[in-house]
Each structure stands twice: as structure tokens, then as C-alpha cells.
Amino acid sequence: MAKESIFQKLLGSLVGGKDADAAKKKQLKNIAKTLSKTHFKFYKASSDQALPILGKFFFDLYKALSSCQTLFNSQQNPNYYKSTVINTGLSENQKQLAESLSEEAIQESAKSGDFAQIKSKVKADITAFSGEFDQSKIQLIDNLYQKLLAFKAFCTFDYFFILKKFDSTIRENEFSKAPKLNAIDASYISDDLKDFLSVLYSLPLGEDWTDLMQLLKNMRGGTEPIKAGQWSKIVSRLTQLKASHVFEMIIQLTTKDPLYEVKYEEKHEQIVEDYIDKIKTEAQTTINKLENALKNSKTDTLLNQIFGTTSISSLQNYTDEQSSYFTKKNLGGFEYTRPLNYLKAFLLEYVKRDIRAYADLVLIRGKWTTTPLSTEMSDAYNALLEYSEKITIFDKNLSEEEGEYGIKLKTLLPRADRDKEAASIIKTTLRDNNTLAKEYIISATKQLIVFGKNTKMLLEDYQKTRPEMLTNWKELDRFAETPIKDLSVEVYKKIYLIVQLMQALVGGGQG
């Protein structure tokens, strides 16, 4: 048939008019002759009719596959079939690991276990779970899924729609009596036959169907929707039909198109890799949620200890609210709004009050045994005051009314959707400002650490019988509104807490 089609195409290109029509008629006549020699008497060429026996063929399929059709129609979610197929290939150990990697299991473990250990176990379980998927197991699962999809498409084909054309009185899913099938004009079902061939050709008829039959039985709670022997007979008949090209020839004759060829799509979806990624992603997402919850809990605790509240607002422009205008358009955003906001509040509220009072006492009125000892602490204190001013200027620069960067961002934002250059400039501007914000946080935190370390050393010196750093502690006590020891402890405690907060939000690289 393929050779004849090629011949017909060549002939049509070389001759025209009546010669081409004659060649086409001859081709169709040969197809009718070939069809008549097959033992499938579905079609009468002289009257271009589809015969009742063809209707019976579809009725027998409709009846045999009805339970399978009901099974598939009752479950429309494609993910159900993917997970069902994958579960057939999992070992008992993998099933237990998959269960332990679920969000519920991880959340439950987190209620009583050490989070670091849970995190480590999840990582180990993911490795063990994915490690059992060798190439052979992956191929078996993927092949079974492709077979299931092809079988599902074949079972859910609209056989009833075709049968209604052979018998208008037939009722859906009624098999107690044989339908009254009539011969019909074959053109009525030519498109239906094309659709049927597309699902027929997608069936891997030559494969072993044992695994799929067992899968269907499991899906139906232990009951077979179709007997293995019955399906084997259907496969045998379909194989003969496919090999003889009976339906193709009927379509060619009734459409007067000797060049017709079956069109169908072979799907090769790889579901195992996606499944493994899904398990990994869900487990990691759960860990991230728990980690964020712990971080937020720790953050809230630290904020309450430092400020007595979790509601702190010290910045006007480098804020989450302003950031949302950019994140909504996938342009990036302000990444360090929380830590910079808390740091600025601390510099305003504590460095310029309690820490200044302490610095005035020990750095200005204190009599140090050597100058280098006070220089490091003095430099750190002055640097903190400078960072407070730098952060204020940084925030003002992002003002939409008067800030250099704020005005630029406000101007470019409306154009970002249609102007790639505008979008690129916004991303670069945001990135540069985030880099600067992080630099201020890390550098200021380092200075806090230096000041805190020296405060601790001075506290220890204060409590010595013979101080070694300052020689006039008693004199300073008289000038202090708060006892120096209490003030020292409070300053050190606040610095320790703010450093902990910055490290929790930005990372442990501040020094």
C-alpha cells in the first residue's frame, strides 16, 4: 500500500486531468479488490456501506471494555495513574522512605525531635530512596505507564457514538440484548474510524500485558475489570486487523483518498524522574518551612528581648511594601529589609542612648592604662554612629520623591513590562542596593562585636581587685546614673542579642 501511494503521488505529478482521475480510480479499484480478499467483511464497496458485522465488532469491544471504561471514567486525575504505576515498582523500603518523607511525617517528627537530626535524616532518606531507582526499574515503570495510557485511551474511545449510527435505538451501557444493527453509509463513520485507528495504533499490541492486567485488578480493589484471556483474544484480533489494513482501506475507499495514512501520536512520558524530584522538593520544602518557622520564632524571641516588641519600623523606603512593586513583576526586590530595619532601630534606640552613656563614661572619663586598649573600642563606637547615618542616607536615596535611586526606579517601573533595558536597569539597581544593605549589616555587626567584646573585658576588669584596663572605676561610679556594673551587663546583653539577630537573618559570616 505504501508503494502504491508513492506511485500514485508520482503519477499525479507527471500526468493531469483525465489521466490522473483514471489512475486514482484504478488505485481505488485495486484497494477494493485487496479489501475483498481479507476475511473481515466489514464493508461493501459496490454500495459504499459499512455492514452490520462492523457494528458488531464495535459492540463486542464496547461490551468487553465497559468495566474498564467505567473504571477510567471514575478517575480523571492523571496524577492518580502516575502514582499508582510508580507504587507498583517501589520496594517495601522505598514505600516506608516515601512515607517518612511526607510533609505530615516530617512535621510530626519535628514536634519532639532535634531539628538538626531531622534535617540530616531527611537528607539521608532522600539519598536512599532515589538510590534504589536503577535504570532497569525506571524503564519498567515508565513503560507500564505508557501502556496504561494507551490502554486507557483505547477503552475510553466513544464506541457508543459509532454504535448509535448503526442502531439509533441502542442504549448506553446496556448489554442484556443484542442491538439491531443496520448497514449504513460508510461516510457517516469515516472520521470515527480515523479516530479509532489513532488509538489502535498507539496500543503496543506486541507487548506482555500481564503487568497491566495486575495493575487494573489492584486499581479495582482485587476484581478484574477484564479477564486476561479475554483481553488476549481482543489483542489477537486487533493485531490481525492492523496487519491487514482493513480500516485504512475502508477509509481510503469511502473518502476516495487512496493516499490516506493513519495519523497517531506516540507518547513517551518519563514519570519516575518527576516523581523523585517531587519527593525531594516536598521534603525540602517542609524542611524549609520548619527552618523558617524556627528562625521566625527565634527572631521574634530576640526582638522581644531587645525591643520589647516584634513591630519595629525605622526605614521609610527600603521596606517590604516598596519591594512588592518589583517582586510582582519578577524584577527582584529588597532582600534585607528586616535585618536593616532592626539594625537601624537598634542604632537609633540603643547606640545613641545606653551605649552612648556607657561610651561617655568609659571612653571619655575613663583613665586607660594604655591608649591602644581604648582605641579599638572608640573606633568601633564611632563607626556605629557613622553606619547609623549611612543607613539613613541609603534609605533616603530610595525615596520616590527625592532619592536618586527611588526616582529612577519609579520612572522605569511602568516601562519594565515592555522595555527590556528598563527591566535590566531596575534589576541592576536593586541588586546594587541589596549589596550595599548587606555590606552595612555585616560591617556594623562586626563593629558591634568589637564593642561588645571590649565591654565584656571592661566588666571583668571592673570586678577585679586590682583593675588593669581602667584605673578610675570608683570615680566613674559617681558619675554614672546607672551603676556601671548594671549598665555594662545591659549593654553587653543587648549587643549580644542584636548580633544573634543579625546572624540569624543574614548568616554567620559577620565575624
Same domain? 329 vs 406: yes
Q: What is the mean pLDDT of the chain?
A: 92
Domain closes at, from 239, 254, 269? 254
Angle between helices 420-462 and 371-396 (to 10 degrees): 150
Tell me, what's the pLDDT at 159? 96
- Shared domain check, 245 and 127: yes
Residue 197 and residue 119 share a domain: yes
21 vs 459, higher pLDDT:
459
- What is the reported pLDDT for 2? 45
* Better pLDDT: 297 or 391: 391
pLDDT score for 371: 87
Residue 269 lies inside a defined structural domain of this protein: no
For the chain, the distance separating the N- and C-terminal CA atoms, rounded to the nearest angstrom, is 80
Which of 321, 315, 306 minimizes the C-alpha distance to 437?
315
User: CB 454: neighbour CB atoms within 10 A?
Assistant: 21
**Residue after which a domain boundary falls, among 210, 226, 254:** 254
pLDDT at position 511 = 40
Per-residue pLDDT at 412: 94
Q: Answer yes or no: do 247 and 319 share one domain.
A: no
pLDDT at 510: 44
Is 204 a domain residue? yes
Range of the domain at 457: 312-506
Distance CA 314, CA 484 (A): 29
Q: Is residue 436 part of a domain?
A: yes
352: which strand partners?
none
Q: Is residue 293 part of a domain?
A: no
Q: What is the pLDDT of residues 235-264, one digit of tens each?
A: 999 999 999 999 999 999 999 999 999 988
**pTM higher than 0.75 for the full model?**
no
List, as one string, the DSSP characters of 264-278: --------HHHHHHH
Residues 358 and 232 in one domain: no
Q: Is there a single domain that holds both residue 348 and residue 482?
A: yes
Residue 13 has pLDDT above 90, yes or no: no
**Contact predicate 349/429, CB 8 Å:** no
* Per-residue pLDDT at 6: 56
Query: 27-31, 155-159, 281-285, 370-374: lowest mean pLDDT where?
Result: 370-374
DSSP string for residues in 420-449: HHHHHHHHHHHHHHHHHHHHHHHHHHHHHH
- Strand 43-44 and strand 184-185: pairing? unpaired
Among the ranges given (74-83, 392-401, 487-496), the one the predictor scored with the smallest mean pLDDT: 74-83
Query: CA–CA distance from 495 to each of 331, 349, 460 (Å)?
Result: 35, 12, 17
Q: How confident is the model at residue 291 (pLDDT cuts 50, 70, 90)?
A: confident
Are residue 327 and residue 248 in the same domain, yes or no? no
User: Is there a contact between 443 and 386 (Cβ–Cβ < 8 Å)?
Assistant: no
> Do 232 and 316 share a structural domain?
no
The letter for the amino acid at 125 is: D
Indicate the pLDDT class of residue 16, thresholds 50, 70 and 90: low
pLDDT of residue 266: 77
Instruction: Give the pLDDT confidence of 193-231 residue by residue, as tens digits.
Output: 999 999 999 999 999 999 999 999 999 999 999 999 999
* Confidence label for 11 from pLDDT (cuts 50, 70 and 90): low
**pLDDT, position 8:** 57
Is there a domain that residue 189 lies in?
Answer: yes
Segment 385-399 shows an average pLDDT of 96
Residue 299 belongs to some domain of the structure: no
pLDDT in tens, 317-346: 999 999 999 999 999 999 999 999 999 999
The owner of cell 564611632 is 382
Position 20 scores a pLDDT of: 79
In this predicted structure, what is the pLDDT of residue 430? 96
pLDDT of residue 5: 56
* pLDDT at res. 76: 87
Model confidence at 509, pLDDT cuts 50, 70, 90, reads very low
Residue 202, C-beta contacts closer than 8 angstroms, at least 6 positions apart: 150, 153, 154, 264, 265, 266, 267
Helix (H, G, I), strand (E, B) or coil at 49: strand
Is residue 357, in this structure, part of any structural domain at all? Answer: yes
Q: What is the dihedral of CA 377, 379, 382, 384, to 10 degrees?
A: -70
**Residues contacting residue 451 through CB under 8 Å, at least 6 positions apart:** 355, 377, 380, 381, 384, 495
One domain, residues 166 and 238:
yes
Q: Tell me, what amino acid is at 469?
A: M
**Are 353 and 497 found together in one domain?**
yes
pLDDT in tens, 96-145: 999 999 999 999 998 887 888 999 999 999 999 999 999 999 999 999 99
Residues 250 and 317 placed together within one structural domain of the fold:
no
**Alpha-carbon span 394 to 410, nearest angstrom:** 16
Asked whether the predicted pLDDT for residue 296 surpasses 50, the reply is yes
Please tell me the distance from the alpha carbon of residue 507 to that of residue 511, in angstroms, as a whole number.
10
The predicted structure's pLDDT at residue 7: 55
Q: In terms of domains, do 336 and 249 share one? A: no
Whether 99 is in a domain gets the answer yes
The percent of residues above 70 in pLDDT, for the chain, comes to 96
| Domain boundary residue, one of 233, 254, 275 | 254
CB 369 within 8 A of CB 471: yes
Instruction: Work out how many domains the chain is built from and give that number.
Output: 2
**pLDDT interval class at 294 (50, 70, 90):** confident
- Which H or E element spans position 231? helix 228-244
- Check residue 3 and give its pLDDT: 45
Whether the per-residue pLDDT at 447 is higher than 90: the answer is yes
Q: Nearest 5 degrees, angle CA 203-CA 207-CA 213?
A: 85
C-alpha distances out from residue 366 to 449, 471, 476, 491, Å: 21, 8, 7, 17
Overall average pLDDT of the 418-436 stretch = 95
